């Protein structure tokens, strides 16, 4: 039970519900601040503008997040203008919420000091090196993203103010122990139920329909019988894996090796050790000891404040020139055993020693022969595939009458499909890029198939296609006679469902009147064995209904109706309710959940109140 309870208490529903408003404020707020305002506005919130540039930035963020989440399926969503319009509206609403929260925070005179801003920036890991704030990295990152330091500080101030506002609401809610206990007892309660089934299929099999009923249903629901646009397609598939394997001979390997010796040269490496101390005075004392013959490794192990290297007797490892830190380079150590003077490194002083040198060396051909062969083989295979695509592309462009020229130059066979629509393509062509091209304006226009070959379409798995639409059917309402049998099934199911609901209501009425056995026998059903349901147990077909039912009174069961996944009707009999008996640990967990729920209600109420009392003008979101 504890595992189930822990899952519920830590559910994404509770956490997201609590955090989503404030997080969306912060994210969209950053975009708005960096971009800045403009007279070209998308909206005004209490007289303060939201520019179209801000909206576009927020929309692109939403779009990018959606693309990362959907992957290959994103293209289909992106082609839906209505959905993209809704996404843009969502982005604008987030910006409006941000503006309202900022304004409300200003009304409450919430602020953040310069010291708090500094601490917040210093705590950001992106600006740290070895766990400490790195001013050079800070300047480099701001410069890379073209962010002004003052603007960045101002944005951090806004984020801190918004965090204060969020905390003032989510942090002040509290729950009395009695409230938490009552909530826990209800949340953990168990209910004993039994169910009797009335099968839909049996009722549906007895239904009859008239021609008039079928025609009336068809006339009222013609939008449900629209056949989408369909195509027949000819295509040629190129698959790199099916091409003859490229070969590489020894002469090619030797030539490549000789022409690329720098790629097989192992750079000079030097082995260094170090001793780090806190002050220049300590460093100078160490320098004197070393000059007097003290052992470097022993001193490093005993006195170095850098614990990692000290545990290794001062050794910090082999390094090539390109990866050697500037502090070691500045020591200018050239001979084995040479020790540097004390060098200041941030707040410490370090003595470096050059322990050993491995000179530059060229790897022999026999050592790298296999890797060269693999690389050259891959390059040849890629070139072969690219050359094939080039030939196919030229043939498809120069001869738009068919794919015969493509077949001729490639040696590949043309394949043909049956009729299909956008949502049900043949498996061989089921790639978003291919389907989007097939149903694009290049291959289909208002007159049907354009008779044009596509260009080469590359897809994952080192495959590529050239396609042409050979036949086209426009979207149309399917004729009544063609869908008549389908409508008959739908109408019978509708009638059966209505009859089933009436039968269920009648059975419950008779059960409440005490005619249990007689009523169940007449309905051809009976109650099954006892089931125990609760909020923290795996859900069943009757959990939602059973947990909302009125508890039994004076030992008399109560009744309700539920439906399973096949729409069979389930008469639910609730026999017993047992309140939960939470442990101290469970009370603690559910107390946090209860408080989070209360806090989310406060947040939602705040947002609703701010919007209700604001003057919001939507001007141009396109």
**Tens digits of residue pLDDT in 387-406:** 999 999 999 999 989 999 99
Say if residue 26's pLDDT is above 50. Answer: no
Task: Name the DSSP letter for residue 199.
Answer: -
| Least confident piece of the model among 71-85, 332-346, 504-518, 565-579 | 71-85
Q: What is the per-residue burial (b if ≥16 Cβ within 10 Å, else e) of 447-461?
A: eebbeebbbbbbbee
Q: What mean pLDDT do residues 171-190 have?
A: 75
| Per-residue pLDDT reduced to its tens digit, 527-586 | 999 999 998 889 999 999 999 999 998 889 999 999 999 999 999 999 999 998 888 888
Question: Which of 601, 607, 620, 608 lies closest to 173 in space, CA to CA?
Answer: 601
DSSP 416-472: E---EETTS--GGG--HHHHHHHTSTTTEETTEE-------EEETTTEEEEEEEEEE
For 484-496, letters b (16+ CB in 10 Å) and e give eeebbebbbbebb
Same domain, 462 and 386: yes
Q: How confident is the model at residue 424 (pLDDT cuts 50, 70, 90)?
A: very high
Which stretch of DSSP H or E encloses residue 602?
helix 584-612
Q: Is residue 601 part of a domain?
A: no
CB-based contact 102:29 (threshold 8 Å): yes
Closest alpha carbon to 286 in 217, 344, 339, 224 = 339
Question: Nearest Cα to 265, choosing from 333, 355, 365, 370?
Answer: 365
Q: Which of 426, 451, 477 is the last residue of a domain?
A: 477
Q: By residue range, what is the domain housing residue 516?
A: 190-219+484-578
Query: Of 114, 113, 70, 62, nearest to 91 (Cα)?
Result: 62
223-237 mean pLDDT: 92
pLDDT at site 335: 93
CA-derived radius of gyration, the chain = 37
CA distance 133 to 121: 8
* 234 and 375 inside one domain: yes
* Angle separating helix axes 2-9 and 584-612, nearest 10 degrees: 20
How far apart, in Å, are the Cα atoms of 201 and each of 34, 99, 156, 570? 61, 55, 63, 14
- Based on the domain organization, do 554 and 422 belong to the same domain? no
Distance, CA of 605 to CA of 104 (rounded, Å): 14
What's the whole-number mean pLDDT along residues 306-321? 89
pLDDT tier at 175 (50, 70, 90 boundaries)? low
Average pLDDT of the chain, as a whole number = 84
Tell me whether residue 405 is in a domain.
Answer: yes
pLDDT tens digits, 463-482 = 999 999 999 999 999 999 99
Q: Residue 489: is its pLDDT beyond 90?
A: yes
| pLDDT number for residue 4 | 39
Q: What is the CATH number of the domain that holds 148?
A: 1.10.4030.10
Does residue 292 fall inside a structural domain? yes
Q: Does residue 237 surpass a pLDDT of 70?
A: yes
Distance CA 50, CA 27 (A): 15
The residue from 547, 562, 578 where one domain ends is 578
* CA proximity to 9, closest of 557, 607, 535: 535
Would you state the pLDDT for residue 17? 28
- Give mean pLDDT, residues 23-34: 31
**The predicted structure's pLDDT at residue 72:** 64
**Which residues, listed in sequence order, are joined to residue 272 by a DSSP beta bridge?**
317, 354
Region for 562 from its dihedrals, namely left if φ exceeds 0, alpha if ψ lies in -120 to 50, beta otherwise: beta
Q: Is the pLDDT of residue 16 over 50?
A: no
- My answer on whether 143 and 72 are in the same domain is yes
pLDDT band at 622 (very low <50, low <70, confident <90, very high): low
For residue 461, being part of any structural domain is answered with: yes
Q: pLDDT tens, 114-169?
A: 888 888 888 888 888 888 888 888 887 777 655 667 767 877 877 787 777 766 66
Confidence of residue 99 (pLDDT cuts 50, 70, 90): confident
Mean pLDDT score, 169-193: 76
Between residues 77 and 97, which one has the greater pLDDT?
97
Rounded CA separation 173/599 (Å): 6
Distance in angstroms (rounded) separating the CA atoms of residues 92 and 41:
11
- Residue 413: pLDDT band by 50, 70, 90 thresholds? very high
Strand ranges (E), 48-156: 48-51, 128-129, 132-133
We report the CATH number of the domain holding residue 293 as 3.10.50.40
Residue 38 neighbours by CB distance under 10 Å:
13
Same domain, 398 and 410: yes
Q: What is the mean pLDDT of residues 479-494?
A: 93
Domain shared by 66 and 27, yes or no: no
pLDDT band for 351, please (50, 70, 90 cuts): very high
Give pLDDT, residue 11: 35
Domain presence at residue 263: no
CA 118 to chain centre: 32
Predicted confidence (pLDDT) per residue in 201-225, tens digit: 999 999 999 999 999 999 988 888 8
How far is 303 from 450, CA to CA, in rounded Å?
Answer: 82
Residue 243 has pLDDT above 50, yes or no: yes
Rounded distance between C-alpha atoms, residue 439 and residue 233, angstroms: 11
Are 287 and 351 in the same domain? yes
| Dihedral Cα 76, 78, 81, 87, nearest 10 deg | 130
pLDDT at 21 over 80: no
Is 214 part of a structural domain of the chain? yes
C-alpha distances in Å from residue 342, one per residue of 110, 283, 351: 49, 6, 5
How confident is the model at residue 1, as a pLDDT? 35
Is 240 within the bounds of a domain?
Answer: yes
- 48 plus 134 within the same structural domain: yes
Q: What is the DSSP letter of 15?
A: H
In this structure, are 405 and 430 located in the same domain?
Answer: yes
Q: Are 34 and 28 in contact (CB under 8 A)?
A: no
β-partners of residue 358 are 269
Distance CA 166, CA 469 (A): 57
Domain final residue pick, 300, 326, 359: 359
Taking the whole predicted model, whether its pTM rises above 0.75 is answered as: no
Number of domains in the chain: 5
Residues 210 and 147 in one domain: no
Whether residue 437 is predicted with pLDDT greater than 80 in this model: the reply is: yes
In a domain, 225, yes or no: no
Residues 45, 100: Cα–Cα separation, whole Å:
7
Instruction: Kindly state whether residues 391 and 378 are assigned to the same domain.
Output: yes
Residues 273 and 128 reside in one and the same domain: no
């Amino acid at each position: 039970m504890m595992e189930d309870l822990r899952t519920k208490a830590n559910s994404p529903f509770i956490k997201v519900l609590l955090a989503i408003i404030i997080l969306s404020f912060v994210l969209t707020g950053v975009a708005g601040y960096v971009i800045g305002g403009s007279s070209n506005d998308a909206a005004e919130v209490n007289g303060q503008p939201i520019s179209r540039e801000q909206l576009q930035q927020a929309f692109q963020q939403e779009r990018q997040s959606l693309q990362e989440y959907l992957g290959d399926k994103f293209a289909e969503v992106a082609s839906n203008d209505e959905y993209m319009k809704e996404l843009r509206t969502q982005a604008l609403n987030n910006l409006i919420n941000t503006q309202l929260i900022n304004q409300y925070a200003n009304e409450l005179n919430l602020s953040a000091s310069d010291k708090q801003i500094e601490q917040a920036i210093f705590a950001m890991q992106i600006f740290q090196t070895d766990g400490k704030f790195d001013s050079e990295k800070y300047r480099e990152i701001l410069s890379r993203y073209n962010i002004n330091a003052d603007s960045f500080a101002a944005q951090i101030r806004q984020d801190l103010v918004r965090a204060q506002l969020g905390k003032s609401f989510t942090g002040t809610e509290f729950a009395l122990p009695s409230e938490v206990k009552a909530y826990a007892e209800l949340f953990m309660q168990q209910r004993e139920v039994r169910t009797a089934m009335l099968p839909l299929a049996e009722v549906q099999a007895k239904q009859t329909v008239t021609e008039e009923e079928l025609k009336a249903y068809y006339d009222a629901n013609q939008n449900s019988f629209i056949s989408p646009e369909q195509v027949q397609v000819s295509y040629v598939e190129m698959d790199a894996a099916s091409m003859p394997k490229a070969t590489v001979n020894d002469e090619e390997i030797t030539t490549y090796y000789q022409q690329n010796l720098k790629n097989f040269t192992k750079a000079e490496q030097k082995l260094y050790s170090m001793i780090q101390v806190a002050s220049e005075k300590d460093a100078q004392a160490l320098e004197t000891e070393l000059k007097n013959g003290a052992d470097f490794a022993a001193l490093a192990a005993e006195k170095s404040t850098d614990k990692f290297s000290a545990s290794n007797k001062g050794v910090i490892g082999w390094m090539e020139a390109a990866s050697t830190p500037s502090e070691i380079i500045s020591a200018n150590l050239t001979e084995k055993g040479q020790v540097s003077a004390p060098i200041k490194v941030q707040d410490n002083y370090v003595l470096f020693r050059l322990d050993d040198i491995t000179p530059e060396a060229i790897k022999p051909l026999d050592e790298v022969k296999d890797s060269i062969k693999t690389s050259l083989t891959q390059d040849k295979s890629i070139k072969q595939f690219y050359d094939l695509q080039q030939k196919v592309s030229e043939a498809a462009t120069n001869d738009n009458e068919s794919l015969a020229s493509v077949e001729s130059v490639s040696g590949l066979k043309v394949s043909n499909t049956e009729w299909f629509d956008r949502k049900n393509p043949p498996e061989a062509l089921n790639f978003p890029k291919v389907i989007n091209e097939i149903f694009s304006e290049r291959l289909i226009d208002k007159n049907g198939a354009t008779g044009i070959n596509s260009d080469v379409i590359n897809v994952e798995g080192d495959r590529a296609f050239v396609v042409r639409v050979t036949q086209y059917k426009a979207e149309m309402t399917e004729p009544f006679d063609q869908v008549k049998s389908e409508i008959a099934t739908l109408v019978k199911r509708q009638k059966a469902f209505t009859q089933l609901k009436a039968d269920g209501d009648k059975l419950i009425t008779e059960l409440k009147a005490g005619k249990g056995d007689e009523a169940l026998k007449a309905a051809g059903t009976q109650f099954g064995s006892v089931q125990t349901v609760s909020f923290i147990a795996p859900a069943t077909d009757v959990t939602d209904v059973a947990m909302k039912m009125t508890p039994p009174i004076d030992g008399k069961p109560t009744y309700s109706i539920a439906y399973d996944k096949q729409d069979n009707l389930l008469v639910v009999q609730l026999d017993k309710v047992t309140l939960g008996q939470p442990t101290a640990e469970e009370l603690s967990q559910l107390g946090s959940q209860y408080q989070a729920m209360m806090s989310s209600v406060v947040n939602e109420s705040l947002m609703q109140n701010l919007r209700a009392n604001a003057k919001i003008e939507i001007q141009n979101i396109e």
